[in-house]
């Protein structure tokens, strides 16, 4: 790890989200041990170990086809993990690149999907307020912008109070300004809810801006990881330095990990 990253003090902003009690050593929310996934003869992930602590914000980078979505789908329970040692919390939620709203259900009903009880509209309303869309409760999904639809998808995830929030390139389809606003929103929601986050992204800048820890998946394993022990507000000057390092690992030149020339694996972690 870069010495500058290692020795800069952690500030309050960089500490885990507030729902945690620092005195109680918490169990990890995710524990994968020697996890392997094959599709036919092709091994996508091999012998991968991964632990995520409560309240931790982890970004997962990797070239196209490196298995990021496969790993995320396993953690979401959407892919089989037969015979594997996989520990994930029951309370988990996923947000994909596209919002996947049901167009025939009003916005609040999309958020409340699967919830039970007399107060589900109020719960959906609360979640929609959190993402700044309290006024679009009765709107139809097709009347929303792309950014608004992703906010609804976030509300739908958070209304379930997940211990683990899985984000699969959630901002990739948004314009640059909307993406920056969504970064601020996700950080605010993460702090308010105290859940652990695993975010798949191709965007090194996004990973540096948001995460406590960045993992690079390559060759079916975690090829590198970086911990960022400084406040998010103070990261701008580090971005270039860290970006160069991560792009070196990914073998890229333009900030998008899927546009890169093959590069030898970095040292394991």
Distance of CA 120 to the CA centre of its chain: 26
Cα 207 to Cα 47: distance, rounded to the nearest angstrom: 24
Sequence-distant (≥ 6) Cβ neighbours of residue 248 within 8 angstroms: 263
Kindly tell me which of 124 and 210 has the beta carbon lying closer to ligand ATP.
210
- Please list every residue from 43 through 102 that binds ligand ATP, using CB under 6 A: 44, 62, 64-70
Cα 186 to Cα 135: distance, rounded to the nearest angstrom: 19
Kindly tell me which of 210 and 216 has the beta carbon lying closer to ligand ATP.
216
Q: What string marks each residue from 13 to 52 as x (binds ligand ATP by CB under 6 A) or -?
A: --------------------------x----x--------
Quote the DSSP letter at residue 117.
S
Q: Is 267 an interacting residue with respect to ligand ATP (CB under 6 A)?
A: no
Q: How far is the CB of 170 from ligand ATP (least distance, A)?
A: 13
Strand residues in 5-123 grouped as ranges (E)? 30-39, 42-52, 57-62, 85-87, 92-95
Q: How many of the other CB atoms lie within 10 Å of CB of 59?
A: 26
With CB under 6 A, what is the number of residues at the site for ligand ATP?
Answer: 11
Q: How far is the CB of 9 from ligand ATP (least distance, A)?
A: 34
- Per DSSP, what are the bridge partners of residue 222? 217
- Please list every residue from 186 through 205 that binds ligand ATP, using CB under 6 A: none
Interface with ligand ATP (CB under 6 A): 39, 44, 62, 64-70, 258
């Amino acid at each position: 790890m870069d010495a500058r990253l290692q020795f800069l003090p952690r500030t309050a902003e960089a500490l885990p989200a507030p729902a945690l009690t620092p005195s109680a050593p918490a169990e990890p929310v995710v524990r994968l041990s020697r996890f392997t996934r094959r599709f036919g003869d092709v091994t996508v992930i091999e012998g991968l170990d991964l632990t995520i602590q409560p309240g931790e914000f982890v970004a997962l980078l990797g070239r196209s086809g490196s298995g990021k979505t496969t790993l995320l789908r396993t953690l979401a329970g959407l892919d089989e993990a037969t015979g594997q040692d996989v520990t994930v919390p029951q309370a988990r939620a996923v947000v994909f690149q596209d919002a996947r709203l049901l167009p025939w259900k009003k916005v609040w009903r999309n958020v409340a999907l699967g919830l039970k009880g007399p107060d589900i509209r109020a719960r959906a309303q609360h979640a929609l307020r959190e993402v700044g869309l309290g006024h679009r409760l009765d709107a139809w999904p097709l009347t929303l912008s792309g950014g608004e639809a992703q906010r609804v998808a976030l509300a739908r995830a958070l209304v379930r109070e997940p211990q683990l929030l899985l984000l699969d390139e959630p901002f990739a389809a948004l314009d640059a300004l909307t993406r920056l606003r969504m970064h601020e929103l996700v950080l605010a929601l993460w702090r308010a809810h105290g859940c652990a986050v695993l975010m798949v992204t191709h965007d090194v800048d996004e990973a540096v801006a948001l995460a406590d820890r960045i993992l690079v998946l390559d060759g079916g394993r975690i090829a590198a990881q970086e911990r960022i022990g400084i406040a998010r507000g103070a990261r701008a000057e580090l971005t270039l330095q860290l970006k160069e390092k991560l792009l070196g690992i990914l073998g890229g030149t333009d900030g998008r990990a899927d546009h890169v020339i093959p590069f030898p694996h970095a040292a394991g972690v």
